[in-house]
Structure 1
């Protein structure tokens, strides 16, 4: 579980990132969560964008991605979700 100070730090780090994955009409599936988990192992911090044609609520998408990948939800703002998962092999981000 991330503290408020850690979330603030991660939000500032994620500010300049572009969304890598997009959740569309199909919602969240196992293939997508596997790909996001692999990307999180490499990057640790990433943005996921929810498209307008997505049938799922943004909080449902965030919860499904968090549970499927084992990542922490840093922030859900508008149609963008910021996820963080500490890398086992390529740790780059030092949390305060």
Structure 2
């Protein structure tokens, strides 16, 4: 599923007041963290993830890996915060039409 610009704008608006649900710690991206992200996506559909890595390239690689492993859509990256969306089996968020 690929999001249109209109849908991304809609999701950005919904994500604005959200706090990061997952914070990567000193151990970085582990299988446990991936499982936690998948569980949060299943429950919330739209989440923020905080990646406190200082190295920009490494941070981008971590974020790309998260998207790849969760099959989620990346809505936006703001600094060290990534916004992800993955539609649940019973969607709570009604996206605007394409």
When normalised by structure 2's length, the TM-score is 0.87
Q: Report what 1:92 is aligned to.
A: 92
Q: Residues 21 and 49 of structure 1 are in contact (CA less than 8 Å); yes or no, is this contact kept in structure 2?
A: yes
Q: Name structure 2 gaps, 5 residues minimum.
A: none
When normalised by structure 1's length, the TM-score is 0.89
RMSD after superposition:
1.8
Q: Residues 53 and 59 of structure 2 are in contact (CA less than 8 Å); yes or no, is this contact kept in structure 1?
A: no
1:87 CA displacement: 0.4
Number of aligned positions between the proteins? 95
Q: Report what 2:23 is aligned to.
A: 22
Q: Name structure 1 gaps, 5 residues minimum.
A: none
2 CA distance for matches of 1:19 and 1:45? 10
Helix, strand or coil for the counterpart of 1:57?
helix
1 CA distance for matches of 2:56 and 2:14? 30
2 CA distance for matches of 1:42 and 1:56? 30
Change (3 A) 1:28 1:54: farther
